[in-house]
Amino acid sequence: MAIANFFRADPLRYEGVRPINIWGLRLFYLLMLVFVAPSAWQVLLTHEGPWQPLPAVAWAVWATYPALAFFALFHPLRWLPLMFFTIGYKSIWLVFVALPLWQAGTMEGASAQPIANSFLALPLLVLVVPWGYAWRTYVRGGRPAREPIGQQARS
């Protein structure tokens, strides 16, 4: 594959999504699997005593969504809602937790700082999502880009 084709949509492959988006999604799914899942599962498996309900939910979510990223490595577009979830919760956390701390000048040294730092890659997540495909598939509910026009009418 020529380098230029990596940045060009091909209606016959990846449902019309550019290969760079597919490989970007795979990279982030892999990073979720490698970095988030082990630490979350370690906390869950080594916790002693009763859980506080809200932290338990947070750890359960942090263990589950990156474990699902394993499947997304093989079918990145089918598992795109996992990326929506990731972008959503990180955005909400940054706005409601990190931004007020930063505006107040209290982020430096706060317990939220390491999490905020890890969430700063959020713009890269947003860049790899094929938003045109997402719009066609999840909002409009349209047909994949690879289907010939004549076939759409027969379906």
Where residue 23 falls among pLDDT bands split at 50, 70, 90? very high
| Reported pTM | 0.82
Distance CA 134, CA 13 (A): 16
pLDDT digits (tens, 9 = 90+) for 88-116: 999 999 999 999 999 999 999 999 999 99
Alpha-carbon distance of 76 to 33, in angstroms, equals 13
More confident residue, 154 or 11: 11
For residue range 130-149, list pLDDT tens digits in order: 999 999 999 988 665 555 54
